[in-house]
Amino acid sequence: MRRIACLCAVLAATLCLAVSALAQTFTVAAGAGYKKPVTALAKAFEAAGGVKTDLIFGNMGQLIPQAKTSGAIDVLVGEKGFLEGAGLRFSGAVPLGRGVLVVAWPKGKTLAAPGDVVKPEIKRLAMADPAKAIYGKAATQYLQKAGLDKAVADKLLVVATVPQVTTYVQSGEVDAGFVNRTDVMDLGEAIGGYLEIDPSLYEPIDLAALPLAEAKNTEAIKAFAAFLETPQAREILKKHGL
């Protein structure tokens, strides 16, 4: 009986340690253009497993140095190739879908085709910083491959993040802007509309969640990675255009 009691005590202690590890707060950092789906995923994950998830959003030019030096970020969400080439060590990657570049415009404007950004009535054209934001890089690639880069050079307004571009489009401060589909697909009448860019004119944007190899909250990370593979998570990603 004493041996059984000891065994039960060991099992109980082990279970408590596992629950304690899983209950740790952990941090997910993502490109600002993916705030909506990442926030929805975190809320669903917390509801399913009770794990508190802290979220950080910004452009990757800000997040990558923070991930390298702070030790406070457990998972980065962004374009897989871009992150893997950033000098960070990851312990894996969970694919989340493919991002779509679009050009959006405010109420009162209409673009029949993406190439209409060269027209005289488009006086201000916004995009995220191509050195720090993947959709800024994609927009630059599109303009170059479509032969539009020189025609729009004098009207470009470069800002830090995709949501800033979207805000300018909504307010009418710009006549058009390059953003990701996720950021504008549910805006409805808040903007004039948007058109998808031919994906052959920019490099594929493969979104993924990548755990940092040095991250300490390993059990929470494993649980989050497993959740991202569930039908519930996939439905959330699909809802947000991924």
Binding-site residues from annotation for molybdate: 162
DSSP code string of 110-127: --SSGGGGGSTT---EEE
At 137, list the tokens: 């890089």
Q: How many residues does the chain have?
A: 242
C-alpha dist (Å) from residue 7 to 4, 11, 131:
5, 6, 57
Q: How many CB atoms lie within 10 A of CB 43?
A: 13
Instruction: Give backbone dihedrals phi and psi of 135, rounded to 5 degrees, phi first.
Output: -80, -25
Continuous H helices in the chain: 2-22, 35-49, 60-69, 80-84, 134-145, 149-152, 162-171, 181-184, 218-228, 231-239
Per the annotation, binding residues are 162
